[in-house]
């Protein structure tokens, strides 16, 4: 049974504490936990389940920082066999191959490649905007933005303005991993700290650019550290309102430094979705990322607090590199039928969660205007 004091708080719309989050994780009553999270999901999103039609562009896997969770599985050190970096022309060709008139978003991330100049990033955005003016460019994590600040020797605020001028629409949520000062160095040794990730996200939001957030779980972190991660995101969201959604990412150990660890279990995945929904009372959407969860479990997660299934990704390399087998793509019809079979209404959305009308004129410019961000 779930502690009735926590149930009462949720019913009254009161904020949960770290101790509440840990207690929820520790419950054996997974059905009760799911029902509680589902109440909140319904309150926030009715019976709508969102998805979008996107394409991933991973422009390079060369990465100077040596993260235990990614190096070898996806990333390669400069000069190491298996490394690739797309020239701008290759990026544009790749995008053109993947594009069709229904695509509303390019999700663009890559390693920290010291060989690329700052202009590569702005030229990449400008070139994509010119060729695909209706496609939203969701590009560069807080880790990449911090890196761009270092290579350009300019403050992140300057970097963000240059990226915005070049066509940046929003930022993906990667690189957050787990903020804990204990665990983070053990999985992402040379990556920016959790505090820096949050600081860059704050600057992104202050510049009027929305972003997503992630939490990587199922490695060496504790339950307290997971809930603490969620609470740090909630605190920033109180200040900026700039997070569109949280994506809990289940760690895939294969080919990584932690290849001896077991993969996450379905119970843990569902609890994580539910606790995230309950703790993050100020983030509208929780994404069940089917690439890490499998489409089947992501569908079940819709009953545990998730209201978004991400995109019809045809090719994704980062999690596939670590043994994720579900990354090869689902069609719109498959996603819609998964959602309907869960008793929900599928809504195709754009990156900022505006519904994309069936048969809408996709040649019209992507929506701009109100961002929902709090004034800086």
Touching ligand V47, residues 315-354 (CB under 6 A)? 318-319, 322
Counted residue by residue, the chain has a size of 376
Q: How far apart are CA 320 and CA 58, in angstroms?
A: 12
Q: Which regions of the chain does DSSP assign to beta strands (E)? A: 48-52, 54-58, 105-109, 136-139, 211-217, 243-250, 285-286, 308-311, 345-348
CA 60 to chain centre: 19
Identify the residue whose tokens are 């990156």: 351
Minimum distance from residue 31 beta carbon to ligand V47 (Å):
27
Residue (10 or 63) nearer to ligand V47, CB: 63
Q: Token digits for 174? A: 């990667």
Touching ligand V47, residues 153-212 (CB under 6 A)? 172-175, 177, 212
Minimum distance from residue 16 beta carbon to ligand V47 (Å):
24
Residue (27 or 244) nearer to ligand V47, CB: 244
Touching ligand V47, residues 235-264 (CB under 6 A)? 247, 249, 251-252, 256
Residue (172 or 303) nearer to ligand V47, CB: 172
Q: Return phi, psi of residue 350, to 5°.
A: -90, -175
Residue of the chain from 216, 233, 283, 352 that contacts ligand V47 (CB under 6 A):
216
Beta bridge partners of 85: 60
Touching ligand V47, residues 278-307 (CB under 6 A)? 289, 292
Touching ligand V47, residues 22-81 (CB under 6 A)? 69-70, 73
Identify the residue whose tokens are 């060369």: 62
Minimum distance from residue 215 beta carbon to ligand V47 (Å):
8
- Is residue 273 within the footprint of ligand V47 (CB under 6 A)? no
Q: Token digits for 339? A: 């959602």
Of 293, 328, 334, which Cα lies nearest the Cα of 313? 328
Count of CB atoms within 10 A of residue 164's CB?
A: 15
Minimum distance from residue 256 beta carbon to ligand V47 (Å):
5
**Would you tell me which residues interact with ligand V47 (CB under 6 A)?**
69-70, 73, 172-175, 177, 212, 214, 216, 247, 249, 251-252, 256, 289, 292, 310, 318-319, 322
């Amino acid at each position: 049974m779930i502690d009735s004091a926590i149930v009462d708080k949720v019913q009254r719309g009161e904020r949960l504490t770290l101790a509440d989050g840990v207690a929820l994780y520790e419950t054996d009553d997974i059905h009760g936990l799911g029902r509680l999270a589902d109440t909140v999901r319904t309150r926030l999103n009715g019976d709508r389940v969102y998805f979008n039609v996107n394409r991933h562009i991973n422009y390079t896997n060369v990465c100077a920082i040596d993260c235990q969770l990614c190096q070898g599985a996806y990333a390669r050190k400069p000069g190491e066999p298996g490394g690739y970096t797309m020239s701008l022309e290759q990026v544009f060709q790749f995008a053109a191959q993947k594009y069709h008139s229904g695509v509303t978003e390019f999700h663009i991330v890559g390693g920290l490649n010291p060989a690329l100049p700052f202009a590569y990033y702005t030229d990449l955005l400008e070139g994509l905007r010119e060729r695909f003016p209706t496609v939203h460019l969701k590009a560069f994590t807080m880790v990449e933005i911090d890196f761009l600040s270092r290579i350009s020797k300019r403050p992140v605020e300057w970097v963000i303005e240059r990226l915005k001028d070049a066509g940046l629409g929003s930022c993906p949520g990667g690189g957050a991993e787990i903020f804990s000062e204990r665990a983070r160095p053990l999985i992402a040794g040379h990556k920016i700290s959790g505090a820096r990730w949050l600081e860059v996200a704050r600057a992104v939001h202050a510049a009027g650019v929305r972003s997503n957030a992630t939490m990587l779980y199922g490695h060496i972190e504790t339950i307290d550290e997971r809930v603490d991660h969620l609470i740090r995101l909630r605190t920033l969201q109180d200040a900026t309102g700039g997070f569109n959604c949280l994506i809990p990412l289940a760690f895939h150990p294969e080919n990584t430094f932690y290849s001896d660890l077991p993969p996450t279990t379905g119970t843990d995945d569902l609890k994580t979705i539910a606790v995230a929904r309950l703790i993050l009372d100020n983030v509208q959407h929780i994404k069940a990322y089917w690439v890490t969860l499998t489409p089947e479990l992501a569908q079940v997660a819709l009953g545990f607090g998730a209201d978004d299934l991400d995109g019809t990704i045809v090719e994704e390399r980062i999690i596939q590199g670590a043994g994720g087998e579900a990354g090869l793509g689902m069609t719109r019809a498959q996603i819609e039928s998964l959602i309907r079979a869960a008793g929900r209404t599928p809504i195709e959305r754009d990156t900022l969660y505006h519904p994309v009308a069936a048969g809408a004129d996709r040649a019209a410019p992507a929506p701009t205007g109100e961002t929902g961000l709090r004034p800086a």
